[in-house]
Structure 1
Amino acid sequence: MNEDDRAGEFGPIYLPALQRIRDLWLELEPIVEATSYDDVVAPTELQVSLSDGLGDAESARFDIQWSELGMYSFHYVDSDDVNWRFDRHPNTHSPETHFHPPPEAATTAAEPSCIDVTEVSLVTRAVHAMWRAAYEGDDVDQLNSASNPP
């Protein structure tokens, strides 16, 4: 996540949310290979590693942040250097809740997110549902196409 992408306050990282997100990914996704935090003492990001990715990618990772203010970033990157992300944070380029499409997840390409829910478990389930639909359908156009998932 590019910190310059945020125009307003994101807020401090909320560790209980990251723990809940980790537990949900482990429960929902059979190809989760590992989960970790960027820092064991003061984590700012949860990393969920997958044993496969979209298209021809052989592996993928989600870098996830969730703040005490309910702001978030679910950033996907894979072994083919494809990036996309679902974000919620104040900014100058799009609605507060938005989606940066693949392959670069460019700041300037942000579009409104199909995810309307704001509760940590529901947002996680929605991102997972979008990832799973794109993965099973081998179609990245499915990533931001549902009507208010999950």
Structure 2
Amino acid sequence: MSTDRSGEFGTIYLPALQRVRTLWLDLEPEVAETGYDDPVHPTELRIELTDGLGDADSARFDIQWSTLDNYSFHYVDSTDVNWRFDRHPNTHSPDRHFHPPPDARTVDAEPSSIHVREVSLVTRAVHKMWRVAYENEDRNRLNSASNPP
């Protein structure tokens, strides 16, 4: 999970994670399973996929959402490709930013194409961009949409 935050991220907001989970299950046929890192005090939703981008044969999203509407959608796959969409206070980029593949390095953060803030819309935007990149086998499409969804 992201370690490049400064300022307050906020307490994890379980109803938001539950909404994210429901949307991914409704939208994505590649979802294999979902779960939380801790069943009693979850801090992260994990969404396992049966396929990934490019040569990856599986992938996972690790997702956090806070009471302050900060979030992290972190993708990692079986070929060790990482990227993520974040919204949180930091010193390296705008609050809403994208860490591109292949390794989601902090120093490579760029402004995010996601401008919406509501949990359902952000989730749909991340899903849409992942799906476009997946179908076109082109990781360069991940942060290329104009204010998705």
TM-score range, shorter chain: over 0.9
Alpha-carbon separation, structure 2, partners of 1:26 and 1:2: 24
Question: Which residue in the other structure is 2:6 paired with?
Answer: 7
TM-score (norm 2): 0.99
1:31 counterpart = 2:19:
no
SS of structure 2 residue aligned to 1:85: strand
Q: What residue identity is the alignment partner of 1:37?
A: Y
**Partner-residue secondary structure (3-state), 2:32:** strand
Q: Equivalents in 2 of 1:100, 1:86: separation in Å?
A: 6
Q: 1:132, 1:122 → 2: CA distance?
A: 15
Partner of 2:52: 53
Deviation at 1:117, TM superposition (A): 0.1
Q: Runs of at least 4 residues of structure 1 off by over 3 A?
A: none
2:103 — aligned with what? 104
- Report the Cα distance in structure 1 between the residues aligned to 2:42 and 2:15, rounded to whole angstroms: 11
Q: Aligned partner of 2:41: which letter?
A: A
Structure 1: runs of 5+ lacking an equivalent = none
Measured in 2, the distance between the counterparts of 1:2 and 1:64 equals: 10
How far apart, CA to CA, are the structure 2 residues paired with 1:2 and 1:54? 21
Counterpart of 1:75, as a letter, is H
Q: How does 1:1-150 map to 2 (within 5 A)?
A: 1-3=1-3, 5-150=4-149
**Identical-residue share of aligned pairs (%):** 74
Matched residues in 1 for 2:26 and 2:129: separation?
Answer: 16
Deviation at 1:2, TM superposition (A): 2.6
Is 2:114–2:148's contact at 8 Å kept on the other side of the alignment? yes
Give the length in aligned residue pairs.
Answer: 149
Residue identity in the other structure for 2:102: P
Q: Distance in 2 between matches of 1:85 and 1:14?
A: 19
Offset at 1:84? Answer: 0.1
Equivalent-residue separation in structure 1 for 2:63 and 2:25 (angstroms): 14
Q: CA RMSD in A?
A: 0.4
3-state DSSP class of the match of 1:21? Answer: helix
Measured after TM superposition, the shift of residue 105 of structure 1 is 0.1
CA distance in 1, matches of 2:147, 2:83: 18
